[in-house]
Structure 1
């Protein structure tokens, strides 16, 4: 099988794993299996009477919820398959000298770290910092695989880098950083169960400004808790997280719209297509975010909002990939010296 086909398959699998991870988290099934990598001491969900009895002995006080446990295990099966595939891609690509050894090692290291985060998500009982890190790791893997795919397919601007104004790559960088920050805020909102703290638009209802609790809202680790499921913060802290996510959405939207506008006025047809893609994905993501508020976080819409964030990040990254090629970086460095 060609390397490009393997990478395409890995991208599809990564998208499915991100979807399954979001669905598992939002369906409150993150602790459907209290152990890792198995489930109640098995590599499948215990279903017969003897296995359930053994599970009750191993984990007293817990009840086997088959539907949640299967959600968690299916997510793990897909993630494990993806991990093996990424290792294979890294080996083949490095052997064929299609990527540097450091790139291949980085991909494998990311997979290993993701597996550790998956384990810690369970063993540390959904600690928000770990859950958010696991979400970001999945998004980063998605981006790394897309970068590899773009390298293999030799994606570049046909008109050359010289036709770009110096400010355009800067716009792309700012947009990428703000979208990444917004994804982090979204992950922090979800992992702290703060998605329903504000039901008004565009920011929050009531006297939200005078009730902000920034310190508690953004303390990474709140010690003294054995289990973080359903959240441990009070209303003010969760509301602060949600408000930050709303403000971040506004700033990220402005940056993406500005980048799209800059792309649309360029002569290069590829950049114009990127500009329209940015606007389309952003519009869909805003619609999903507003729907989450209006309809009180429907599971399907919430999962779609996670997937939309991944697609938006990749689209902004693609704009950066086209603009920040090595020759373009050298050119801008010379301009800064002059």
Structure 2
């Protein structure tokens, strides 16, 4: 039961992250201006009362509500995981700490979902909400790995290689933040359809980095963004530089881990996902953010993170060499 619930929850978490990306990219984050209902109803209404200033867009409202329904089911499934762990209904020994952290995280994630609406898609809150989804999926994936026998590497793992994996994973997480910030500030197309240049230049001169990562006031409607073009361009360019750094870092890690033959399958998965992510990033720019490619760019970022987490799970459960 514990394993089945983890499997279901992990699939649900992936679905919720993808739905969240789709909802954001379809500009449906405020499809329902209230929370947890939609114009005061549990289902999207056909007509709304005069107390709501925002007009009803049924298509956007349903996108938002489907995301909420899926997230609610995920929250209930994580509660079941917690209860099963408390009562020791697990196939393999599992500390209560991780299920507890997961339950607290999903509760905070629900609050972020509410604030996303009440604070009118504030970029900082929406980015934190994205991080919460990624973190929830990562913890579920770690639980998933804990309950399955992992193949042995067959040789001690060097400490410096473990440290390198930690650094590369941290860089990827920071790049995911940069991507979330780019998306929530509507800066994905601030360089036009130019690649590798930006607005026809390798490094535009009038970029505004000073205000690029300013938190911003609460109580302001951030739908479609409020930043100047120069600021959005700066955000986009930082994200591009980050992509180069992360790509080089992951390639270096994979080259180093070739010393462990039993990790080659993991390395192939990482390289495949990295290639897909780079290609999707370029497609999003030159094709002006097609919906499928934009959603998949978000999803593949998560899969790439999980591929590094899988490596970490194997490497940190092995003997360490100096």
TM-score relative to the length of structure 1: 0.90
Report if the CA contact (8 A) 1:197-1:239 is conserved: yes
Q: Which residue of 1 aligns with 2:7?
A: 8
- In structure 1, the gaps of 5 or more residues are none
Q: Which residue of 2 aligns with 1:294?
A: 286
Cα drift, residue 200 of structure 1: 1.9
Report if the CA contact (8 A) 1:127-1:228 is conserved: yes
CA distance in structure 1 between the aligned counterparts of 2:233 and 2:289, rounded to whole angstroms: 15
Cα deviations by residue, 1:129-187 (Å, 9 ceiling, x for unpaired): 00000001000011000100111113253414x2x233211221121011101100000
Cα deviations by residue, 1:95-134 (Å, 9 ceiling, x for unpaired): 2163222222211100100000000000000000000000
Provide the aligned C-alpha RMSD in A. Answer: 1.6
The answer to whether structure 1 residue 217 and structure 2 residue 212 are counterparts is yes
CA distance in structure 1 between the aligned counterparts of 2:248 and 2:86, rounded to whole angstroms: 39
Q: Which residue of 2 aligns with 1:234?
A: 228
State the SS of the aligned residue for 1:215. Answer: coil
Cα drift, residue 248 of structure 1: 0.6
State the SS of the aligned residue for 1:300. Answer: helix
Alignment of 1:122-133 (within 5 A): 122-133=117-128
Cα deviations by residue, 1:39-73 (Å, 9 ceiling, x for unpaired): 000001002xxxx1xx23221x3211100000000
CA distance in structure 1 between the aligned counterparts of 2:24 and 2:208, rounded to whole angstroms: 25
The answer to whether structure 1 residue 181 and structure 2 residue 174 are counterparts is yes
CA distance in structure 2 between the aligned counterparts of 1:224 and 1:152, rounded to whole angstroms: 43
- Which of 308, 314, 322 in structure 2 is aligned with 1:316? 308
State the SS of the aligned residue for 2:307. Answer: helix
Cα drift, residue 210 of structure 1: 2.4
- Larger relative helix fraction: 1
- Which of 72, 95, 111 in structure 1 is aligned with 2:106? 111
Q: Which residue of 1 aligns with 2:161?
A: 168
Instruction: Using CA pairs under 8 Å that are at least 6 residues apart, name the structure with larger relative contact order, 1 or 2.
Output: 2
State the SS of the aligned residue for 1:147. Answer: helix
Alignment of 1:144-293 (within 5 A): 144-160=139-155, 162=156, 164-198=157-191, 199-202=193-196, 204-207=198-201, 208-220=203-215, 222-223=216-217, 226-267=220-261, 269=262, 271-293=263-285
Report if the CA contact (8 A) 2:122-2:218 is conserved: no
The answer to whether structure 1 residue 17 and structure 2 residue 9 are counterparts is no
Cα drift, residue 202 of structure 1: 2.4
Once the two structures are overlaid, the 10-residue window that deviates more, 210-219 or 80-89, is 210-219
Cα deviations by residue, 1:252-311 (Å, 9 ceiling, x for unpaired): 1111111112223323x2x11111111100001111111101110001110011000000
**In the comparison of the two structures, how many residue pairs are matched?**
317
CA distance in structure 1 between the aligned counterparts of 2:114 and 2:136, rounded to whole angstroms: 17
Cα drift, residue 205 of structure 1: 3.0
Report if the CA contact (8 A) 1:175-1:259 is conserved: yes
CA distance in structure 1 between the aligned counterparts of 2:37 and 2:316, rounded to whole angstroms: 43
Cα drift, residue 324 of structure 1: 2.2
TM-score relative to the length of structure 2: 0.94
Cα deviations by residue, 1:2-44 (Å, 9 ceiling, x for unpaired): 2111111111111111111000000000000000000000001
Report if the CA contact (8 A) 1:200-1:293 is conserved: yes
